[in-house]
Amino acid sequence: MAGIVICGAAGRMGRSLVQAVCEQGAALGGAIEHQGHTALGEDAGVLAGRSPLGVKLSDDVAAVFAQAEVIIDFSLPGPTMEHVAVARMLKRPMVIGTTGFDGRQRERLREAGEDIAMLVSGNFSVGVTICLDLLARASRAFAETVDVEIIEAHHRHKIDAPSGTALMMGETIAQARSQQLDEILVHGREGRTGERPTGQIGMHAVRGGDVVGDHQVWFIGEGERLEIRHIATSRMNFAHGAVRAALWLQGRAPGHYSMRDVLDLQD
């Protein structure tokens, strides 16, 4: 059955994505899990807390991808790269929400965009996309007259830090100020750090409990501070954004797209 294929369908985010596919009236074309997973063979709809959908979890990536119209992957960097290779071979578009890629993996993702339509993002929330737009505007207006700090918080189970969204925020601010993020980014502070350099971006990660996602950016000036904050209270806003992106990506030419394209946000 053609439709949207979900990778990591038995996980927390995977189940939310299956639910979002159903709620948006789209077709679930397949559900992938890794070899040996205990949920293989189970109905994806039942796992997501819904009625049976007739789509069973499979570890046969090539066979399931061959029937896909578009693939959504929120898994881990290693499996995601394996999925990208298969999707590229089969010319299937991909929406990727996996975070924690290393430099080589990011380069391979860039290369894959030469053959398939791809939308890779650390966050698919409409609110976060608008937040990034505000950050770019604030950064251009303030330039380097303020100090910038990014604070992000997530649940205790998140295995990478900083979050992909925090890095997106840092990249957005750096680009708006014509900077390279890796040249001015500092992760936390400890000991005798000395005076804060002009243009530096500080980034801090908090992990605990069941926090879905909380991102704050402080623009700290002399006599004033602007705070831009996004708080997520449910994974469903990410899931709905990813499904919206997947439906939009179908039929697009090869290349890399963004949530700004999906939402038609103009510069």
Catalytically active residues are: 154, 158
Give the angle 249-113-72 at the CA atoms, nearest 5°. 45
d(CA 14, CA 55): 14
- Cβ partners under 8 Å of residue 267, min gap 6: none
If residue 73 lies in a helix (H) or strand (E), which one and from where to where?
A: strand 70-73
d(CA 46, CA 232): 25
Structural contact between residues 96 and 118, judged by C-beta atoms closer than 8 angstroms: yes
- Cβ partners under 8 Å of residue 66, min gap 6: 90
Structural contact between residues 201 and 173, judged by C-beta atoms closer than 8 angstroms: yes
Distance separating the N- and C-terminal Cα atoms of the chain: 39
Type of residue at 129: T
